[in-house]
Every structure is written in structure tokens, then in C-alpha cells.
Amino acid sequence: MNILELRGISKIYGQLSALSEIDLDVAQGEWLAIMGPSGSGKTTVMNIIGCLDKPSCGSVVLDGQELSALSADELTAIRRDKIGLIFQQFHLISYLTALENVMVAQYYHSLVDEKEALAALDRVGLADRAKHLPRQLSGGEQQRVCIARALINYPSIILADEPTGNLDEANERVVMDILHQLHREGSTIVVVTHAPEVAAHAERTVVLEYGKIARIVLGGDPSKAPEVGEACGAGA
């Protein structure tokens, strides 16, 4: 069963066509990587999948629900209930502790539950840093807080845009381990990355070029694996 179906998605900024005619399915429990050169439209796709932005045309079906007809408020509700976001810049609220940053997501979702938030921090190995402010945490630790926050409301799909872009190798490993664990537990994961070694963890990699799907590769490294481009039709 597909948790996400993109059909003929285009995004046009003025004259510039950031995405054109993208078709893409993501299966429940799949780990998908999106690669491509800078400016190829990776973040634009992420924004559309994450209900942060609306496509200029095309349809998005997330978890069985067609999104194009929804209002801004309804999209907010979808983000809240179905999507877990992990950012390259972490985006923790600077004046709140690690624990409070996780609880903020609970607060906007439904009700705060300190125990559960602590458990989420424990899961990413940060139980002892709960009372620290973001500036008192290392980049890797901040990213783990960001992951704990993304998980706290049991999202149907986890979206990560360059999750390891600001991390060193050791921290990259820690973060990838956490993603692996989530994947084993059945989470659907979409990761945008420049790094082939990060994409290598995925089951399938989509390569974007000039706003189009150039090819789709099974397994991690798109430079080695065989192309299966026709599987989802890059529309070109």
C-alpha cells in the first residue's frame, strides 16, 4: 500500500519551473532517498510532501487523503498529525530546554506529557540532557532533540532534509542508527541528501535534475546501482 502518491506535480516560481510533472509513489514502511544537484528541486518536493507548500498543479495523496483541495488550516492539521520533520539546521527554539522543545510539539498537537517527552529523549540517548538549552548541546545532540520532537506524535511519515548536513561522521552515524531503528519499527522515511553514503541506507533513491526525476535507483548509491527509471516514469 502506498502512503504517498504524487501525480503530475509541478511547482512554478514566477518564470522558473522548480518542479515539473513529478510522479512518485512511496510505499508504507519504505525508506526513500532523494538526491540531485543543488537547485534541482529536492527541498521543493519535501515542502510539498510535508504540506508546507502547495504544488502549482498535480495531486498529492497522503495516507489516503487528497491534499490539493485542502485549506491552509487543514494542511496545518495534516502536518500536525501525520508528518515528522527533521531539519538540517535543527530549528530548536533557542530559549527552551531540550525537553520543552519536544513538549512544544505535543502542545500544538494535543496535550503535553512530560513523561512521554522524556521517554522520546531517552530513545535518542539524551535523557540526561533534558534540561539543557540548545546552545548547551552539540550539533549531533541538537539533531537528536529534533528527531525526538519529530517522533513524539507518531507521524505516518518522517521527512528529513539533509539531516546530517551539519554533522560530523560520528554524529552522522548516530543519527543514521536512529533512522534505521525507526525504519525497523515500520516508519516510512524520506531523506533528502547530497551524500551518497547517506543515501546508501535507503531502499530506493530518486535522483532529481532540473525539477524532473532523472532516474530511480534501487538501493543506496545511485552511481553504482542499476537504473529502474521506467518504474515510476520520469515523465520526460
Partner 1 sequence: MIKKNNSFLLKILLSSIVRRRSRLMVALVGIAIGATVLLGMVTLCYDIPRQMSREFRSYGANMILVAAGRESLMMRADIENAAALLPPEKVLGLTPYRYETVRSNMLPYTAVGVDFAQVRKTSPYWHVTGQWPERDGEILIGADVAEFTRLVPGRGLTLEGRNKEQARYEKDVTVTGLLKTGGVEDGFIFMSLESMEEMTGEPGFVDVAEISVMASGRELRDLAEAVRSGQSRVEARLVKRVTQSEETVLGKLKTLVYLVTVIVLVLTMICVATTMMTVVMERRREIGLKKAIGAENRSIAREFLAEGLILGLLGGLLGSACGLLFAQVISANVFNRSVTVEFYLIPATVLVSALVTIIACLIPVRRAVDVEPALVLRGE
129 and 121 Cβ atoms separated by less than 8 Å: yes
- Stretch touching ligand ATP by CB under 6 A, among 10-18, 21-29, 108-116, 199-207: 10-18
The residue among 15 and 94 lying less far from ligand ATP, judged by its C-beta, is 15
Provide the 8-state DSSP code for 226: P
Strand boundaries in 14-139, DSSP class E: 16-27, 31-35, 57-62, 65-66, 83-86
Query: What is the per-residue binding string for ligand ATP in 35-74, x denoting contact by CB under 6 A?
Result: -x-xxxxxxx------------------------------
Distance CA 15, CA 3 (A): 32
The string over 89-127, giving b where at least 16 C-beta atoms fall within 10 Å of a residue's C-beta and e elsewhere, is: ebebeeeebbbbbbbbbbeebeeeeeeebbebbebbebe
Give the interface segment with ligand ATP, choosing from 34-42, 57-65, 137-145, 215-223 (CB under 6 A). Answer: 34-42
Strands 188-192 and 157-161: parallel
* CA-to-CA separations, 190 to 10, 54, 86, 215, 225, in angstroms, rounded: 19, 18, 10, 16, 19
50 binds, among Mg ion, ligand ATP, partner 1, none (CB under 5 to 8 A by kind): partner 1
What SS3 class is residue 148?
A: helix
The binder of Mg ion chosen from 31, 33, 34, 43 (CB under 5 A): 43
Pairing of strands 16-27, 157-161: unpaired
Residue 52 Cβ vs partner 1, minimum distance, rounded to whole Å:
4
Q: How far apart are CA 126 and CA 130, in angstroms?
A: 7
Instruction: Give the range of 103-111, 120-128, 205-213, 217-225 binding partner 1 by CB under 8 A.
Output: 103-111
| Residue (15 or 94) nearer to partner 1, CB | 94
For the bound state, the minimum distance from the C-beta of residue 39 to ligand ATP, rounded and expressed in Å, comes to 4
Q: Indicate which single residue of 66, 107, 181, 197 sits in contact with partner 1 (rule: CB under 8 A).
A: 107
Distance, in Å, from the CA atom of 186 to the CA atom of 183, rounded to the nearest integer, reads 5
Binding to partner 1 (CB under 8 A): which residues in 46-85? 46-47, 50, 52-53, 72-73, 76-77, 79-81, 85
Instruction: Using the minimum distance from each CB to partner 1, give the nearer residue, 111 or 170.
Output: 111
Site of interaction with ligand ATP (CB under 6 A): 13, 16, 18, 36, 38-44
Site of interaction with Mg ion (CB under 5 A): 43
